[in-house]
Amino acid sequence: MTPIIATINAIPDDSIPICRTNALPLRAAQEDLPTQVATFFQGLFDTNQWPARWYCGNWSDFHGWLYIVSDLLIWSAYFLIPTFLIRLVLIRKDFPFPKALWMFGAFILFCGTTHFIDALMFWVPVYRLSALVRFMTAAVSLSTVYYLFRIFPNVHLLRSVSDLQREIDERKLVEDKLAESEFLLSAAGNVGKLGGWEYDVAEEQYKWTGACGAIFEADEKEIRHNRDLLRFFPLHYQLTLQDAIREVIRTGDTWDHELHLITGHGTRKWVRFSASPVYNAQNTVTRIRGIIMDIDKYKTLELDLKKSIDQMAQKNSQLQNFTHILSHNLRNHSSNISLLTDFVNESVLDKENEEIFQKIKTVSHHLSGTLDDLSQVIKIRNNQLEGEILSMRAVTNEVLSVLNESIEKSQAEIDLDFSTDTIVFPHLYLESILMNLITNGIKYAKDNQPPSIRLRFYRNETRVKVLEYSDKGKGIDLDMHADKVFGLYKTFHKHDEAHGVGLFLIKNQIEAQGGKIQVFSRVNVGTTFKITFNENA
C-alpha cells in the first residue's frame, strides 16, 4: 500500500478536507477586507481549512519525495550561506558595505524558510504562515534591491582583484626600494657619522636616529628631554644650545653650531649641530628638525692646520724680514767694495798686487750680479702682479724688436703659430718669459747652424691656453739634469753669457700666476718648453 493511500484510510471519511478548485472559498468571498485580515492572523497556524499537500492532487511517491527532499536541501543550503556571510562580516571589520551582507543574509534566510514550509505543508498545511513568510521574503528582497541600487555607483568604484594585486606589487616594490634607501641612508649615516633628530615643541621631547646613539656613545632612546641632552655638553655650550632652541621656537631662525661634546664614555669630541623649524597651518613652530654630525677628526685637522698656517705665516714673515735685511746689508757691503775698488790707483800697484786686485774686482762684480738676481727672485715671490688682457702676438713682436740685432746677427729663423691671441697675464712676466726663451734658443743653437725657433699659442683639449716653445738646438740631457733644469745658477752648456738664472725666473713667474711649465729635450735634437696658463688664478 502506498503512503498516500495509507494516510487517507487512516482519516475518518467525514473529516477529509475537500480540495477545492474554485478561486476563493464561499465564506471568504463574503467577508470584507479587515475581517479577512483579522481572520488571517488569528488562524495563522490553523490547518483545518486546507488538506495536507499529499491529499491535494495525484502525487506519486517519487514525485512527492523529490519535491520534499529538494526543498529541504535548498532550505539547508539557504541556512548555511548566511552563516558564512555573518562570520565574514564579524571577522572582516573593514569589509565594504557590511549592511549589504546583512540584508543578503536575511533575504536568503527568508527564501530558505519558504522552501522549508513548502516541504512541511505535505503534512501540515500552514498556508496562512506560508503566505506571510513569502510576503516578508518579498519585502526583504525589495529592500535589498533598493539598497543595491543606492550603493551600485560606489560598488562600481571598488578596485578589482587585479587592481589590488597590481597595487600590492607596486607597494611591495616601493617598500623594497624604501628598505634599500633606509639601509643606504643608515649605512651612510654610520660611515659619515651623521644622525638626524626631531624635537616636539608641545611634548618637549626628542627623537633620534640610530646613528645618533653612536655619536653620543649612549642609548639615543634615553635622550628624551633637554636636560638629557644638555648633560653631554660643557656649561658654555649648554647656554649656546638653550639660546638656539629658544630662538628657533620664537623667531623660526635656523642655526648651525660646532660644539664640544662629552660622550657617555667620557670621550671629548667636536660635533656639528644644526636645526630648522617645522610650521603648522597657523604658522607656529611645532617641531624642530636637524642633524648632528661627528666632525671631531676634521675639526681637529682644521685646528691643527690653522695652527700650522699661523706658524708658517709667522716663520714666512720672519724669513722675509731676514731676506730683506740680508739683501740690504749685503748690497751695502757690495756697494762699498765696488766704491773702494774705484778709489784704488791700479797704476801704482806691482804686478802681483794688480792680479789680486783684479780678482777682487771680479768677485765684487759677481757679488753685485748675484745680489741683483736674488733681489729679482724675492720681488717675484713677494709681489703678486695682477693679470691683464694681452695680445700674445703683440707682446712677442715687442720682444722680437728688442732682440732684432741678435736675431739678424745669428740669422735665426723664428716661426709664429698662434691659433688664439689674447691671454690674461702680467705684461712684465710675459715679456720676461718670451725674452729668456728666445735668447736661450739663440745662445744654445748648434755650432755653425742658425737657430731655428718655433712658438705656438693654442687651446688644448680642455680649452686651456698653452704656449709651446721649441728649438732645434743643442738640447739638454734630462737623464742627468732633469731635476736641475729650473735650478738657480744651473747651466748645461758652456757659453760666455750663461748665468743659469733665466729658466729659474721663468718657472717662478709662471707658478706665481698659478700656471706650470714642462720641459722635453734630447741632446743635439732640440728642446721644447710647454707653458700651461691659469687665467683663473
Q: What is the pLDDT along the chain (537 residues), one digit of tens a residue?
A: 344 434 434 444 444 444 644 444 545 556 788 888 888 888 888 888 888 888 888 889 899 899 999 999 999 988 888 888 888 778 877 777 788 888 888 888 999 999 999 999 999 998 888 889 999 999 998 998 888 888 888 776 776 778 778 888 888 888 877 777 666 666 555 665 788 889 998 888 998 888 888 888 888 888 889 888 989 999 888 888 888 888 888 888 888 988 889 998 888 989 988 989 999 888 889 999 888 888 888 888 888 888 888 888 776 666 666 565 555 556 566 666 766 666 666 666 777 776 777 777 666 665 666 566 556 556 555 556 778 899 999 999 988 888 888 888 888 899 999 999 899 988 888 888 898 889 888 888 888 888 999 999 999 988 999 999 998 888 887 777 667 677 665 565 555 555 556 778 888 888 888 899 888 988 888 889 899 998 876
Among residues 43, 39, 44, which one has the least CA distance to residue 133?
44
Q: Nearest 5 degrees, angle CA 77-CA 81-CA 52? A: 35
Residue 9, pLDDT score: 41
CB neighbours of residue 521 within 10 Å: 21
- Contact between 508 and 515 (Cβ < 8 Å): no
Convert 254-264 to b/e letters by CB count within 10 Å (16 or more is b).
ebeeebebbbe
Among residues 289, 295, 288, which one has the least CA distance to residue 215?
295
CB neighbours of residue 89 within 10 Å: 16
Query: Which residues on neighbouring strands pair with residue 522, listed in sequence order?
Result: 526
User: Which residues neighbour 216 within 8 Å (Cβ) at sequence distance 6 or greater?
Assistant: 223, 232, 261, 263, 264
Q: Radius of gyration (Cα) for the chain, nearest Å?
A: 56
pTM of the model: 0.38
- DSSP 8-state class, residue 16: P
* DSSP H or E run through 232: none
Residue 196, pLDDT score: 87
- Contact between 143 and 106 (Cβ < 8 Å): no
Among residues 176, 172, 217, which one has the least CA distance to residue 193?
217
Separation CA 504–CA 489 (nearest Å): 8
Q: Which residue has the cell 467525514?
A: 14
- Contact between 228 and 222 (Cβ < 8 Å): yes
Chain centroid to Cα 2, Å, comes to 91
Separation CA 453–CA 473 (nearest Å): 9
Separation CA 447–CA 472 (nearest Å): 11
Separation CA 242–CA 249 (nearest Å): 11
- DSSP 8-state class, residue 434: H
The 10s digit of each residue's pLDDT in 511-522 is 888 899 888 988
* DSSP H or E run through 274: strand 268-279
Among residues 489, 485, 487, 498, which one has the least CA distance to residue 527?
485
Chain centroid to Cα 104, Å, comes to 55
Burial class (CB in 10 A: 0-12, 13-18, 19+), 452: middle
Separation CA 224–CA 207 (nearest Å): 7
- Contact between 9 and 55 (Cβ < 8 Å): no
Phi, psi angles (nearest 5°) of residue 101: -65, -40
- Contact between 501 and 522 (Cβ < 8 Å): no
Q: Phi-psi category of 72—alpha, beta or left, where left has phi over 0 and alpha has psi -120 to 50?
A: alpha
